[in-house]
Amino acid sequence: MNEDFQTNKLVVILNHDDEQSVMAALVMSAAIAATGDEVLLFIQPGGAKIVKKGELEKYQNLKGQPDPVDLFDAIQVLDGRVILCELGLPIWDMKEEDLVEGIEVMMASTFLFEADGAKMTFSY
């Protein structure tokens, strides 16, 4: 990579599907996207269920928290990428057609190439 090149790419990794992890990852991803930086939200198998149709709604109405569906929509509207590790599908008996629209599915090794040059990584 050219040393003069400054990337505006940031990575958020979601490892879990507990309320705190999901909301933190969505809030950070939406905030990054809102700044105009490129965000890659990579969802590992432990958090994979949140991208199944109807699952994000289970995190709505959490005390003091924004709407997770609105955050997810904002990430996509602002050109953020939501990427699911392909191992999350068979672990949770899901197929790609079970996922909400706009989810990319890829191998972890492919994601590493996509994330190359990111200036920061957040993990939840």
CATH of residue 37: 3.40.1260.10
Q: Is residue 63 part of a domain?
A: yes
pLDDT tens by residue, the chain, 124 residues: 444 445 699 999 999 999 999 999 999 999 999 999 999 999 999 999 999 999 999 999 999 999 999 999 999 999 999 999 999 999 999 999 999 999 999 999 999 999 999 999 999 9
The whole domain housing 41 covers 9-123
The pair of three-digit structure tokens given for residue 121, joined into one six-digit string: 């990584």
Single-letter residue type at 1: M
Q: Is residue 3 part of a domain?
A: no
Q: What is the pTM assigned to this prediction?
A: 0.92
When divided into structural domains, the chain yields a total of 1
Whose CA is closest to 89, among 43, 40, 41, 45?
A: 45
Single-letter residue type at 11: V
